Homo-oligomer: A and B are copies of this chain.
Amino acid sequence: MSVAGIVAGRAGETPREGRRGRRRRDTLAEILAISLDVMGEEGVGGLSLAEVARRMGIKPPSLYKHFASKDAVYDALFALGARAHHDAVAAAVEGMAPGLERLETGFEASIDWCIGNPVLTQLLFWRPVPGFVPSAEAYAPTAESIALLHEGLEECVAAGALREQVLGEEGIALFTSFVSGIVTQQLANEPGAGLASGRFTRHRKAAFASFVAHYAAGSAP
């Protein structure tokens, strides 16, 4: 799902289209979508509400009818991103039979979403905004993601595919670190590349294989 698709149905809209001559859309969603545009161009920490207002064809004070502060915009984007990421992974593994294949599908879906949503990924995983700390509500979907992952690991253990050790803190830490590492390296060093062509994402299957090799039932502890 694209950035625009996450926020609202903004696909096909030209950036400089005037506010008046446009079909009525949810202003709140538009603020978030344009904020993402600005963050993509100026850096995640470079969001300026004045610039957002400029692009919307309104004056900065008008934005404060929708968001109490700049951090409130960040928080809304954090919540939205965490939710979208979780939903993307959950949707990808939905209906699959338990086992390593399902686990790998989730692994891939997570990386896929991050590469497709680099701005939100940076906000979620890198915390590049000085004073901003996400609210508990915004952070909530992350716990769901961890639970989903733990469930997937449990299935693999139950099926005899992975050792029990993977269910501890270590397994979760390694799995998320591997995702984070591939995504971070890719976005930092080769931002424009796609999932298949990226110098790092290209080897995501090898990364997953490493994880499995370490925890495979029958391998050394």
Contacts and interface: CB of A to CB of B under 8 A. Distances in A.
Contacts of A169: 199, 203
B188 A126 contact: yes
A17 interface: no
Nearest to A125: B188
Contacts of A180: 180-181, 184-185
Interface string A188-216: 10000000000110110011011101101
A173 interface: yes
Contact of A177 (B45, B185, B213): B185
A170 interface: yes
A130 interface: yes
A174 interface: yes
Interface string A140-184: 000000000000000000000000000001100110111111101
A214 B209 CA distance: 7
Interface size class, chain A: 35 or more
A127 B126 CA distance: 10
A118 to B, nearest CB: 11
Nearest to A129: B43
A157 to B, nearest CB: 16
A180 B179 CA distance: 10
Contacts of A178: 177-178, 181, 207, 210
A42 interface: yes
A32 interface: no
Most buried by B among A170, A181, A206: A181
A170 B206 contact: yes
Closest 4 CB pairs of A and B: A181-B181, A43-B130, A177-B181, A213-B213
8 contacts: A122-B126, A169-B203, A173-B199, A178-B181, A179-B181, A180-B185, A210-B210, A210-B213
Interface of A: 42-46, 122, 125-131, 169-170, 173-174, 176-182, 184-185, 188, 199-200, 202-203, 206-207, 209-211, 213-214, 216, 219-220
